[in-house]
Amino acid sequence: MKFDKYPVTVGATSMVFEFTSKGIRGNIQKLVVYSETHLHNFYNLGFGDKNEITGEIDDEVVTNNGDSEKVLATVASTLYIFMEKYPDAMVFATGSTKARTRLYRIGISNHLAEIQKDFNVYGLINEHWQPFQKQMEFDAFLVIKKKE
Amino acid sequence: MKQQTKNTDKKPVIIKVDKNLDKYLTKDLFKEKVDKANHILKTVGLPKFSK
């Protein structure tokens, strides 16, 4: 992906990442977590803002820090580090709201050719998975690293 | 003046590895989304992969 990204701090497991969004509202800590699910190798990608005072993570807050493209590019780029360690992982992602899921879809659509060099991307629609297509509304996404 | 360079590589620059971050793996974060992922696994399953 050819967008600028923030530098990250990574956990020893390569399943947790932290970075700082720097924008019009100041510095905001972001956390990205790849959580295990009931199925081996199937992970949920979650990310949100870290409240510096309480330490709580909020994935519903609308930050409006003016750098959403850079934030999304940074979150997406963590896939490369995560999947280096877990090459057989399947990563599930969905937004906390329909609007946010739509934002993710637009982000994937805008960089689809680049993303598809390294990953297979699927979208969930009407309770069916299908290969991701631009201009289609999806409820969730699944990303799998292509085998070299 | 130091010029900021953009990182347009696929991977982000790693500032450091901090094992303390892994504490978040035990905090049940993004539970709604994880529950949704598990629900979809149960009701829809996985895509038919083209290899």
**What DSSP letter does each residue of A78-93 carry, written as one string?**
HHHHHHHH-TT-EEEE
**Could you give the CA distance from residue A111 to residue A147 in angstroms, rounded to a whole number?**
20
The answer, for A48 touching chain B at a CB cutoff of 8 Å, is yes
The answer, for A56 touching chain B at a CB cutoff of 8 Å, is no
**Residues in A touching B37 (Cβ below 8 Å):** 37, 42, 44, 92, 94, 140
Q: In the prediction, which pLDDT does A74 show?
A: 94
* Residue A135: Cβ-neighbour burial (10 angstroms; 0-12, 13-18, 19+): exposed
Q: How far is A130 from chain B (nearest CA, A)?
A: 7
Q: Residue A109 CA to chain centroid, in angstroms?
A: 14
Q: In the prediction, which pLDDT does A42 show?
A: 98
Q: In the prediction, which pLDDT does A56 show?
A: 81
Q: How far is B27 from chain A (nearest CA, A)?
A: 10
**Residues in B touching A3 (Cβ below 8 Å):** 8
First-to-final CA distance of chain B: 51
Candidate from B19, B42, B51 with C-beta closest to A12: B19
Q: In the prediction, which pLDDT does A58 show?
A: 79
- Decide if A11 and B43 are in contact by the 8 Å CB cutoff: no
The answer, for A16 touching chain B at a CB cutoff of 8 Å, is yes
- Decide if A7 and B13 are in contact by the 8 Å CB cutoff: yes
The residue among A101, A91, A95 whose CA lies nearest residue B32 is: A95
**How many angstroms separate the Cα of A121 from the Cα of each of A28, A65, A90, A137?**
29, 28, 10, 14
% of chain A surpassing 70 pLDDT: 99
pLDDT, greater one: B8 or B25: B25
The answer, for A123 touching chain B at a CB cutoff of 8 Å, is no
Q: In the prediction, which pLDDT does A40 show?
A: 97
Q: In the prediction, which pLDDT does B7 show?
A: 63
Q: What is the pLDDT of residues A7-45, one digit of tens each?
A: 999 999 999 999 999 999 899 999 999 999 999 999 999
Q: Residue A96 CA to chain centroid, in angstroms?
A: 12
Q: What is the pLDDT of residues A70-93, one digit of tens each?
A: 999 999 999 999 999 999 999 999
Q: In the prediction, which pLDDT does A57 show?
A: 86
**How many angstroms separate the Cα of B6 from the Cα of each of A4, A31, B10?**
5, 21, 12
Q: In the prediction, which pLDDT does A148 show?
A: 72
**Mean pLDDT score, B9-14:** 89
Q: In the prediction, which pLDDT does A71 show?
A: 92
